[in-house]
Structure 1
Amino acid sequence: METGFNESRIISIGTAVPEYSMSQDTILQFMHKEYQDPTASRKLSVLFHQSAINSRHSSIPDFSDTDERSLFPLNHEIPMVAERIDVFRQKALPLSVKAIENAFKNIQVSVAEFGITHLITVTCTGILNPGLDIELMVELNLSPDTFHTSLNFIGCNAAFPALKIADSIVKSEPDARVLIVCVELCTLHFQPKNDSDNLLSNTIFGDGAAAVIMVSESFANEQNKKGFSLKGFSPILLKRGKDFMGWKVNSVNFEMILDAGIPEFIGEELGLLMEAVSDKLQLTPDNINHWAVHPGGKKILQAVERGLQLKDDELKHSYAVLRNYGNMSSPTILFVLNELFKSNPASGETIFAMGFGPGISIDTASMVCHGFV
């Protein structure tokens, strides 16, 4: 498949996780202590056992097998939302910078040498004003006339609108050099409530950040940069799933709404989704070489496999990210794309990326591998 002169290309993806890495078994022991509820513990044990997650990361040490605590005290007192946001303020910036540094390390150039012209930040687990985009402008010493904006409180699929905005920028300004940064500190919002939403979210969510560098095809070719060329986007809003997923802010935390019926619901709608994709992107499962599906949980990946009749290994990158990191909300699909990037796919092969968020919204993007050996 040919790439167009005015299209955009992802030339690097950098990922980062915070320093505290815990096994699911270790996190489960923390949950048992915090819940102090035999019924909840039995439910959590089943959920953790079935999660297909081996480890997750957190920006705080509280979930480890030590008594070191920075947010959730040993006396089980529940921190208020302001305390959680204070930790986000401290931890989100350095984690974002780590992901950015890894992205630029991949292309062997510094931020200063590259010359970022546009910055897009994404998060739904913290609220700051001035926001993360301003913090990064200062920390990276970007030019004061750098375009900057933020996408906040969208959810797990937020990387897709960020990519769409970056794609539009590059198409209108061929010399643009766009940096996207997604960072989520989901574990800050832990709450020991014995309801299905909290039990499930406490089972799967972790912290992480990812950075994407996007430029025009012409710029990428001049610099001899391989990557993923964006071919198109096809979102769909499934309105009858509006109440299945979301965040609500209360005095304690950002509380997750996560209906257990989401995987089945998504599976039922995949036929409608692929019809829209076929019409808009001229893409069918038969001509997709690589699948990059947001690993919202094991049951979601299984629903996608069944709904689209995929082979056993076609979601291997999604399962690998779920296994090693859990669901990190918005950066997670970029972790999956990074796994694919590192696998060195053949030039000309197609990629179909899919993510899920509140609404229920399903976002998709079509890409073509370019410049790989």
Structure 2
Amino acid sequence: MSRIVGVHAVLPPHRYEQRDIADALVAMGAAGGQGRGVLDRFHAASTVKCRYLALPLEQYAALDGFGAANAAYVDAATRLSEEALRGALARADLAADDVELVVSTSVTGLAVPSVEARLAARCGLSPHVRRVPIFGLGCVAGAAGLARVHDYLEGHPAGVAVLLCVELCSLTVRPGEPSAAGMVASALFGDGAAAVVAVGRDHPAARTAPPGQGPWTVATRSRLYPDTEGLLGWETTDRGFRIVLGPDLPDTVLRHVGPEARDFLAGHDLKPVDVGGWICHPGGPKMLEAVRAGLDLPARALEPSWRSLAKVGNLSSASVLHILRDILDGPLPLAGMPGLMVSMGPGFSSELVLLTW
């Protein structure tokens, strides 16, 4: 097993109510010929109340192509990632040069050198640190990244590894090219970053974390579902990324993710009713309802995910780490409880991470 010993989640400084974002999008042509009412219905159905954005709202209209948007991504992603990394290390009471591996995930911009490389010298990471930047996993990457950190620490039981997720979804929105998928995305996605510090079972920090605070990662499972590649992802165009959101996504989640999670839990002599902490990616109201129905969960089980969706929107790969941080900082008594991280992404794929406190 490996143990999570520090989680830190950060948000950009620019906070806006959903109505303010809708106003700005309409001014930039996001509603097209369909009218303001259609956009408003998407925003109301999202259940998102407010979001935090990488830039002030008035600056988005000036982003005239992928180059400008990606330059803004590199700048903001580096700043937010540094804050997340430093915060997670402080919570873990570990030094940056203790870190042997950094797994970084993002799907909302491109940085070469990668973000963790840009942070290495300024944060004090070892010049020999192993780096695994991951692009293309989308919303599933937070759970998948934690699973890959766990894989490394299983083979390096005295080691220290970091997962760093940063997503600036607002910089991918294309308001001048309205579509149903684009309007859904404009209603759901927000910006944020998070970092997790984990240690192997033989590291001293694995034994000193207070009960209920540092969950152990017990096992993980990755799954690709056949004939679903077209449901979720990006189309890459001359102007950048265009989102693909298939209408069958909730039904696909309902058919596959619940049975997959049940089978995974059964392999550890557990049932959904035994899980005390659900860390489910808040892909949107229909996705959360599909997970709940597929596992026959009480409504309160996914309350942390619903709260996160309302407060900050869907942060893609960073969302599950924000929810994990919220649970760790909250009043829920966790000692002795199993937890399950559930996330879905392009492929179509799911990632499951079994935790125990």
Structure 1 spans left out of the alignment, 5+ residues: 1-6, 63-67
* Corresponding residue to 1:15 among 1, 4, 9: 9
Inter-partner Cα distance in structure 1 for 2:353 and 2:333? 17
Q: How does 1:317-356 map to 2 (within 5 A)?
A: 317-343=304-330, 344-356=332-344
Q: TM-score, normalised by structure 1?
A: 0.89
Matched, 1:259 2:268: no
Alpha-carbon shift at residue 126 of structure 1 (Å): 1.3
Q: How does 1:203-282 map to 2 (within 5 A)?
A: 203-219=187-203, 220-225=205-210, 226-282=213-269
- CA separation of 1:346 and 1:154: change in aligned 2, threshold 3 A: closer
Structure 2 spans left out of the alignment, 5+ residues: none
Q: Which amino acid aligns with 1:158?
A: A
- In the other structure, the counterpart of 1:3 is none
1:295 is paired with a residue whose SS is coil
1:88 is paired with a residue whose SS is helix
- Kindly report the root-mean-square deviation, in angstroms, between the aligned alpha carbons of the 2 structures: 1.8
Alpha-carbon shift at residue 40 of structure 1 (Å): 4.4
Q: Which amino acid aligns with 1:100?
A: L
* Corresponding residue to 1:24 among 18, 22, 47: 18
- CA separation of 1:316 and 1:20: change in aligned 2, threshold 3 A: same
User: Higher mean Cα deviation, 286-295 or 9-18?
Assistant: 286-295
Inter-partner Cα distance in structure 1 for 2:35 and 2:161? 45
Inter-partner Cα distance in structure 2 for 1:26 and 1:87? 21
1:227 is paired with a residue whose SS is coil
Alpha-carbon shift at residue 222 of structure 1 (Å): 4.0
Identity %: 24
Inter-partner Cα distance in structure 2 for 1:85 and 1:368? 39
- In the other structure, the counterpart of 2:55 is 60
- In the other structure, the counterpart of 1:195 is 179
CA contact (8 A) 2:104 2:165 kept: yes
Alpha-carbon shift at residue 38 of structure 1 (Å): 4.9
- In the other structure, the counterpart of 2:102 is 119
- CA separation of 1:122 and 1:278: change in aligned 2, threshold 3 A: same
Inter-partner Cα distance in structure 1 for 2:321 and 2:43? 24
1:239 is paired with a residue whose SS is coil
Q: Which amino acid aligns with 1:143?
A: S
Q: Which amino acid aligns with 1:133?
A: E
The Cα offsets for residues 185-233 of structure 1, whole Å up to 9 and x where unpaired, read as 1100111222211111111011100000000233234434541101111
Alpha-carbon shift at residue 106 of structure 1 (Å): 2.6
Inter-partner Cα distance in structure 1 for 2:339 and 2:304? 12
Alpha-carbon shift at residue 110 of structure 1 (Å): 5.7
Matched, 1:90 2:75: yes
The Cα offsets for residues 243-279 of structure 1, whole Å up to 9 and x where unpaired, read as 1101122111211101232112211223431343145
Inter-partner Cα distance in structure 1 for 2:138 and 2:289? 21
User: Higher mean Cα deviation, 328-337 or 232-241?
Assistant: 232-241
Inter-partner Cα distance in structure 1 for 2:258 and 2:320? 21
Q: Which amino acid aligns with 2:28?
A: E
Inter-partner Cα distance in structure 1 for 2:307 and 2:197? 23
1:18 is paired with a residue whose SS is coil
Matched, 1:170 2:177: no
Inter-partner Cα distance in structure 2 for 1:331 and 1:214? 16
Q: Which amino acid aligns with 1:131?
A: S
1:161 is paired with a residue whose SS is helix
The Cα offsets for residues 299-351 of structure 1, whole Å up to 9 and x where unpaired, read as 11111222222112111110111011100110001111111111253311000
User: Higher mean Cα deviation, 328-337 or 33-42?
Assistant: 33-42
CA contact (8 A) 1:234 1:280 kept: no
- CA separation of 1:40 and 1:247: change in aligned 2, threshold 3 A: farther
1:156 is paired with a residue whose SS is helix
* Corresponding residue to 2:351 among 351, 354, 363: 363
Inter-partner Cα distance in structure 1 for 2:321 and 2:40? 29
CA contact (8 A) 2:86 2:123 kept: no
Inter-partner Cα distance in structure 2 for 1:13 and 1:334? 7
- In the other structure, the counterpart of 1:65 is none
1:234 is paired with a residue whose SS is strand
- CA separation of 1:368 and 1:222: change in aligned 2, threshold 3 A: closer
CA contact (8 A) 1:277 1:284 kept: no
Alpha-carbon shift at residue 238 of structure 1 (Å): 1.6
CA contact (8 A) 2:181 2:243 kept: yes
Aligned pairs, number: 351
2:317 is paired with a residue whose SS is coil
Q: TM-score, normalised by structure 2?
A: 0.93
CA contact (8 A) 1:231 1:366 kept: yes
Inter-partner Cα distance in structure 2 for 1:164 and 1:221? 17
Alpha-carbon shift at residue 93 of structure 1 (Å): 0.7
User: Higher mean Cα deviation, 350-359 or 152-161?
Assistant: 152-161
- In the other structure, the counterpart of 2:44 is 49
Instruction: Decide which structure has greater helix share.
Output: 2
CA contact (8 A) 2:106 2:166 kept: yes
CA contact (8 A) 1:12 1:227 kept: yes
Inter-partner Cα distance in structure 1 for 2:294 and 2:304? 18
